[in-house]
Structure 1
Amino acid sequence: MDVGDRRLENSRTPLYGFTGNEVHVVGTIDMPVLFGSPPCKVWKMIKFHVISASSSFNAILGRTTITALRAITSISHLKMKFPTDFGIGKMTGDQAIERQCYLTTLSPRKKADEELEVNQVLDIDTRGLVVPPTSNSCSPIEETE
């Protein structure tokens, strides 16, 4: 993930993984994130906690981000919808890609003692929705789905 000339800020707040184990935070970074596609898009500044871990995902969106977007999520439909100035923005996942990510996560590691690279970026609250979007679209504001 290219962060340009941005620098990680130190963080003393521990994070806890999905299994309850403590996760060391390398640092935090505020980055602008684009949700949706034109014309139904929203830019938000998101604070990410960067950790050293192996993962098939680049980012996990937490409840704080989903709430800031005023988004409605459906995990079973791999979809997230949110209001924009020009209608309802939507992000949709791909079931085949999601399946591959899941299988990659389950596959055994090549070396047990290898050092993990910093490749996972987490939002402040890690109990949220995992959203690796593969397609974006826009629908009229009147949509009631």
Structure 2
Amino acid sequence: MLNPGGYALVLDPTIIAPQRTCKFSRVLVDGGSSINILLRDTLAKLGLAAKDLEPTWTIFHGIVPGLSCSPIGRIRLDVLFGDSSHFRREPIWFEVVDLSSAYHALLGRPTLAKFMAPPHCAYLKTKLSGPKGLITVTGDYRKSLECARDGAKLAESLVIAEERCQTGSSPWPKKRRPR
């Protein structure tokens, strides 16, 4: 690793919904977050819709700088770490948001506590107990860099779009009409 401790822990858990089970490759583990977040696009990939959500009264800050965000609902889904021969599965509550992100989901402190899985950011690993002993879940610094790059591009495009909305200018040059 080029910069130990400088990469986000991005894992690939399996998320299980009643209609579909998917292994997601871009799930951010954030020990600073007090909630778990699922993106609306991820919800759709699991074969779920807004009608499948329960109401929520959660409001959180920090996703969009300077603004608060209200989820569109919440849902309890099973999250699985490990492989077919040795795994652990736990039900996790997610706040579902209608935002764009480089990630499919964010697993915060509630998930880390449920799995009793302390993250190790320098090694991009977490360990959790399973029925046959310890399960080591490893991230990939290349995936972390890719997500950071995609997230920066997305943030830049959102800032540019917001600035244009505030100034009333269009991103497209004005067309001149022939006389």
Q: TM over 0.5: same fold? A: yes
SS at match of 2:92: strand
From the two aligned structures, give the one with the greater strand fraction.
Answer: 1
Superposition TM-score, scaled by structure 2 size: 0.57
Superposition TM-score, scaled by structure 1 size: 0.69
Q: CA deviation at 1:38?
A: 3.1
User: Is 2:150 aligned against 1:104?
Assistant: yes
Q: Report what 1:22 is aligned to.
A: 68
Unaligned runs of 5+ in 2: 1-41, 163-179
**Does the 8 A contact of 1:42 with 1:84 survive in 2?**
yes
What are the within-5 Å matches in structure 2 for residues 78-93 of structure 1? 78-93=124-139
| More relative contact order, 1 or 2 (CA 8 Å, 6+ apart) | 1
Summarize deviations over 1:64-86 as a string: whole Å, max 9, x none: 11011011211121111101110
- Amino-acid identity (%): 28
SS at match of 1:102: helix
From the two aligned structures, give the one with the greater helix fraction.
Answer: 2
Q: CA deviation at 1:5?
A: 5.1
Q: CA RMSD in A?
A: 2.0
- One-letter amino acid of the structure 2 residue matched with residue 15 of structure 1: F
Return the alpha-carbon distance in structure 2 between the equivalents of residues 20 and 74 of structure 1: 29
Q: CA deviation at 1:8?
A: 1.1
What are the within-5 Å matches in structure 2 for residues 35-114 of structure 1? 35-107=81-153, 108-109=156-157, 112=161
Return the alpha-carbon distance in structure 2 between the equivalents of residues 20 and 76 of structure 1: 29
Q: CA deviation at 1:20?
A: 6.0
Unaligned runs of 5+ in 1: 114-145
- One-letter amino acid of the structure 2 residue matched with residue 109 of structure 1: S
Summarize deviations over 1:93-135 as a string: whole Å, max 9, x none: 111111011011111217726xxxxxxxxxxxxxxxxxxxxxx
